[in-house]
Structure 1
């Protein structure tokens, strides 16, 4: 991975059923859901059954349900009442242009979408909807039994599922694979049924974010019987809770990781007292204080991901950067760093902290954290002597080691803290990053020139000249933007934005392979200075643009550094 560019400038009827999914561990704050089931093509006879199932789930789980087939419900004012909109086996073109505009604005502004089954057979001529749903329907074989492989068992829509979920449904093939733009949660095992056409990677359930909005899709739900299945009802509930921002999850696309633990403990060793039980691809702590560490290899620069769940007010952590501890877990304590897992403790030793060294951003941590009893996901990004901690996809800590007695090269491990502490881990995986870019400012060694490409959203008259070496420019009006032509096609791995004196400003980072079709990869809300890193973009792109969507209210000027890394 090498640094490509640094630019500087202004930023511009189951009516009688008694089956319910298990309610959330803690009652959610009440919210409202719109269920939309208009069809302009094939109509599924399971729609009334599905509506009633969602009503049942709402009655048991703190949300109200409004069901409609009237597209006139898609106005800005009406959609604002709802935290999530469920497309329940919609088909064909169901919204006109004005309704589409209102719904896109609702999603980008923070609304939630849940697509069920034939929601993927909808609005083929509307590019935004294809982006939102993740993939469009292509074909399906006859209804039959299938083995669904649960790939992500931390998302609230799939955490309750077994590793292999065997069920009967109509099984969609899709025109494209959503893995590059969404976090795949489950796939179909095509060897377990007839008629699959996507090969060894056949996603069936996934989630994603679009600007401030959230999307969850499941291809299941064709049959009436589906809506009486406890596991499917729990999947619907989890998807709705995620879309409505009542449950958190990391829905960034994920590729290139190597499994360290997903059921097999080969390569792992226990140091010190206690242990972990290993059942259903889940490690559960017993006694302690001890360390279960991966003894197969030391790591230098990497992204480490793990899913974890606390029971009550328990304590645990993930250790990085320690030498071989032998039988003494204190080696990791004294020579490594612990990313703490503890629902309640002092700021520098609670969830997300670098234990005793640096507190997490508590506000960001609280906004990203699921409560005890629910699954959370960490990404621990180690680059040189720098550790960044992401909780459910949100950056909550950024720490640089300056202690010569400690070095982040080393082993990784998980802690069993004591008999009274109960923690579980799933799906521990790692991606080595290789040679890392330096953070030095290259001072426009590849000039960033403002583009003259014009559109309604990005008029050339609002472009800011980014070729100047001056770091200060006035935010005279909204919008302002900078478009950078990298001169070739690169895989963008990371965009870094550092800003000062931009109180209240908001920015979007966008990429494009050709400069005409833009994808927002990050929305940043500024405060009185800060830093944002967007990793794992995997966008093959030539152009990168930073676009000021909201002008700062307290300052007339913005100092910022805009950097693009790639390979």
Structure 2
């Protein structure tokens, strides 16, 4: 419980995780026709079956007809032999679920990818083969839960990849939004993430939703989109899927090494400020680093001299409140500098009850990060960690 008397505690050291740089683009670049190739679309289910599978297969067939690849659609796992897989440039797991391959088929597929084959996972491909560790690496993260289908804002972090070059910085669409068991960011190149404050039911804070990475000599691409039938009639989603297929097939070059590129996330302990007004550091065992910024009143602020706002496109904070709640203003250069964006902080039900709030930054500047706290009277909220995405 928050005490009525302010007291200073030791400041915890900051933890910083850096990735790379997001590059702006407005349209997909023109490209020469790819050499003809074959794609296997595999949609076997041993659990929930999506009614979007037939329209998804047809959408990929349409993409193939227009982009020089031939589609073989199958739910027969006996297709996974070394000889048969060698026919295909890439394999798409389209809304697969459960245990769909036996041990011999798994070995053949692992050899196929490691020898230079491509993998594309769509939506519930993350709800597949939980007992196969190699597949967990390949897909990037396994499914944990999802809220109801709803509209959300997608933050397109890397607009240099063929799957995202045509998308706006903020892509608003309706789908079923998976929460994942782990955050794959350190193991993959994140192409797009969800802004959890734009919808209900997100549990990850930093919430990747589409990514790519090399797998031995092969290439892997995953998109969390694709639950609804309507997705496959959406030109932007179809172009996103095509870009993933072309990357996995080896025809669309992309820097997909883990930890670089468009993710560009920096995370710091909120109490590791370099300057402040009005706040104090509060020890709290449940907090990251063991402490938070606390005793926050209207008009207080914290500054972070080593954290640049240059190129930043997203902000999130882990917070708790049994008080009035309020707003965090994200500013550049000073506590009254350029306002990049703001995010509402609710009463979370207790000073030990944390949740993550996030927002897209709608302005740009290149100064150091400052956070200004506003709200009603009394104690507003505590701030545990803060993160910026985009930029470098």
TM-score (norm 2): 0.61
Superposition CA RMSD, Å: 2.6
Q: Distance in 2 between matches of 1:66 and 1:24?
A: 27
Equivalent residue number for residue 120 of structure 1: 126
Q: Does 1:160 align with 2:160?
A: no
Q: Does 1:188 align with 2:197?
A: no
Q: Distance in 2 between matches of 1:295 and 1:127?
A: 42
Equivalent residue number for residue 241 of structure 1: 246
Equivalent residue number for residue 139 of structure 2: 133
User: Which residue, 56, 61, 66 being the options, matches 1:60?
Assistant: 66
Q: Distance in 2 between matches of 1:192 and 1:120?
A: 23
Equivalent residue number for residue 84 of structure 1: 90
Cα offsets for 1:494-516 (capped at 9, x unmatched): xxxxxxxxxxxxxxxxxxxxxxx
Question: Which residues in structure 2 correspond to 1:98-113 (within 5 Å)?
Answer: 98-113=104-119
Equivalent residue number for residue 209 of structure 1: 214
Q: CA deviation at 1:31?
A: 1.2
Q: CA deviation at 1:71?
A: 0.3
Equivalent residue number for residue 7 of structure 2: none
Cα offsets for 1:299-336 (capped at 9, x unmatched): xxxxxxxxxxxxxxxxxxxxxxxxxxxxxxxxxxxxxx
Q: Secondary structure at the match of 1:180?
A: coil
Question: Which residues in structure 2 correspond to 1:415-454 (within 5 Å)?
Answer: 429-430=391-392
Question: Which residues in structure 2 correspond to 1:281-430 (within 5 Å)?
Answer: 429-430=391-392
Q: CA deviation at 1:296?
A: 8.2
Alpha-carbon distance change, 87 to 93 in structure 1, aligned in 2, over 3 angstroms: same
User: Which residue, 40, 48, 52 being the options, matches 1:34?
Assistant: 40
Q: Secondary structure at the match of 2:55?
A: helix
Aligned pairs, number? 255
Question: Which residues in structure 2 correspond to 1:414-563 (within 5 Å)?
Answer: 429-430=391-392
User: Which residue, 229, 232, 239 being the options, matches 1:227?
Assistant: 232
Runs of 4+ in structure 1 deviating by more than 4 angstroms, as ranges, are 21-24, 255-259, 294-297, 427-430
Q: Secondary structure at the match of 1:232?
A: helix
Q: Distance in 1 between matches of 2:73 and 2:28?
A: 23
Structure 2 portions without partners, runs of 5+: 1-26, 267-307, 314-331, 334-361, 369-388
Q: Secondary structure at the match of 1:115?
A: strand
Structure 1 portions without partners, runs of 5+: 1-20, 268-280, 282-293, 298-426, 431-567
Q: CA deviation at 1:25?
A: 2.1
Q: Distance in 1 between matches of 2:185 and 2:93?
A: 21
Q: Does 1:74 align with 2:80?
A: yes
Equivalent residue number for residue 143 of structure 1: 149
Q: Distance in 2 between matches of 1:219 and 1:256?
A: 20
Alpha-carbon distance change, 24 to 68 in structure 1, aligned in 2, over 3 angstroms: farther
Cα offsets for 1:193-220 (capped at 9, x unmatched): 1111112x01100111111110000001
Q: CA deviation at 1:29?
A: 1.2
Structure of greater Rg:
1
State whether residues 311 and 366 of structure 2, in contact with CA within 8 Å, keep that contact through their aligned partners in structure 1. Answer: no
Equivalent residue number for residue 43 of structure 1: 49
Cα offsets for 1:325-381 (capped at 9, x unmatched): xxxxxxxxxxxxxxxxxxxxxxxxxxxxxxxxxxxxxxxxxxxxxxxxxxxxxxxxx
Q: CA deviation at 1:260?
A: 3.8
Alpha-carbon distance change, 43 to 247 in structure 1, aligned in 2, over 3 angstroms: same
Q: Distance in 1 between matches of 2:243 and 2:169?
A: 17
Q: CA deviation at 1:252?
A: 1.4
Q: CA deviation at 1:262?
A: 5.8
Cα offsets for 1:4-62 (capped at 9, x unmatched): xxxxxxxxxxxxxxxxx989521111111000000000000000000000000000011
Q: Distance in 1 between matches of 2:265 and 2:114?
A: 28
Cα offsets for 1:241-278 (capped at 9, x unmatched): 00000001111122666664468xx99xxxxxxxxxxx
Alpha-carbon distance change, 24 to 129 in structure 1, aligned in 2, over 3 angstroms: farther
Relative contact order higher in (CA < 8 Å, ≥ 6 apart): 2
Alpha-carbon distance change, 202 to 186 in structure 1, aligned in 2, over 3 angstroms: same
Q: Secondary structure at the match of 1:179?
A: coil
Q: Does 1:250 align with 2:255?
A: yes
* Greater strand content: 1
